[in-house]
Amino acid sequence: MAEGLEEYPKTDAVVGNMVMLLWIVLGTAACWFLYPLAGIAYFGFAMLMVYVVLRKLVCTNCYYYDRWCGIGWGKLSAMLFERGDIEHFAGSTGVKLAPAVYGLLSILTHHLYHHLTFSGIFSI
């Protein structure tokens, strides 16, 4: 069995969160151009789900709880929530919900970007 890192470099967490925030900002901008209220809703939903709900449902049961994982969410989770049970990690609601949340955010961002590109707002 291959062993992983006890803690990842903090630079991984910084870069990972910058990419995540860029993704959320791009989706927010795409929604905003179509309908400003949709941009606000997208931003609120994305931030709440990515940085709060999924951290509670996934990270509290993770091996990296209160450690620097690849994106730093183990530390974030420890600041917000009590430790869960690592035995429940694989079957947790969060592990099942995460692909749906990230998929939905991806589809919305992709769809809206293409809509705006074809309408001439983002075309080069």
Per-residue pLDDT of the chain (124 residues; tens, 9 = 90+): 446 788 899 999 999 999 999 999 989 988 888 889 989 999 999 999 999 999 999 999 999 999 999 999 999 999 999 999 999 999 999 999 999 999 988 887 777 766 666 666 555 4
Nearest to 115 by CA among 29, 51, 40, 53: 29
Distance CA 46, CA 4 (A): 29
User: C-alpha 52: how far from its chain's center?
Assistant: 9
Q: Where are the beta strands (DSSP E) in the chain?
A: none
Distance CA 44, CA 39 (A): 9
Model confidence, pTM: 0.82
Number of residues written out for the chain: 124
Contact 99, 54 (CB under 8 A): no
